[in-house]
Amino acid sequence: MFERLKQLFAVGNSANDDKMTLELVTAALLLEVCKSDFQEDPGEIDKIRKILIAHFSVSIADIDTFMAQARNTTEERTDLYPFTRYINDNCNNIEKYQLVSTLWEVALEDGRIDKYEDHLIRKISDLIYLPHSDFIRAKLSVIGDGH
């Protein structure tokens, strides 16, 4: 699903983005959704780990170190702009839709979508210029998958 994205994110666009990779951008946004309701649900953290291991080159052995690196990256930033700009510079709408779907998966992992999670995913979706119809379709597809 994310193979093309991984290639696109392999090289940064500026000196400040040299450390950015698709894995890091995705992990950072997933972690932001996880903590947006002011509690980090262990199930949501587990879901993030599974997504990163399944779709990226993050190994089981390295996942905790990588998650810590992603946390540090989000704490160094005061906004979502570096992440969403990176997505806009390198992704098409299908790839953006896939990203937003994974954000919904994490938000729903604890059995409910908190209003803060919903707001953040809507904000990310707007910042990456994903059409509103795709934002809704992604949400409904995740909700309809048995949650």
Instruction: Name the pTM for this structure.
Output: 0.81
Domain count across the chain: 1
48 part of a folded domain: yes
Residues 6+ apart with CB under 8 A from 96: 87, 125, 128, 129, 130, 134
Residue showing tokens 């979502």: 80
Q: Model confidence over 6-61: pLDDT tens digits?
A: 544 443 333 344 578 778 899 999 999 998 888 888 889 999 999 999 888 788 88
9: in domain: no
**Other Cβ atoms within 10 Å of 72 Cβ, number:** 11
List all residues 6 or more positions away from 100 whose beta carbon is below 8 Å from its beta carbon.
121, 124, 125, 128, 130, 134, 135, 138
Give dist(CA 99, CA 83) in Å, integer.
12
The lowest-confidence range among 17-21, 33-37, 81-85, 139-143 is 17-21
130 assigned to some structural domain = yes
Q: Which domain holds residue 52?
A: 20-143
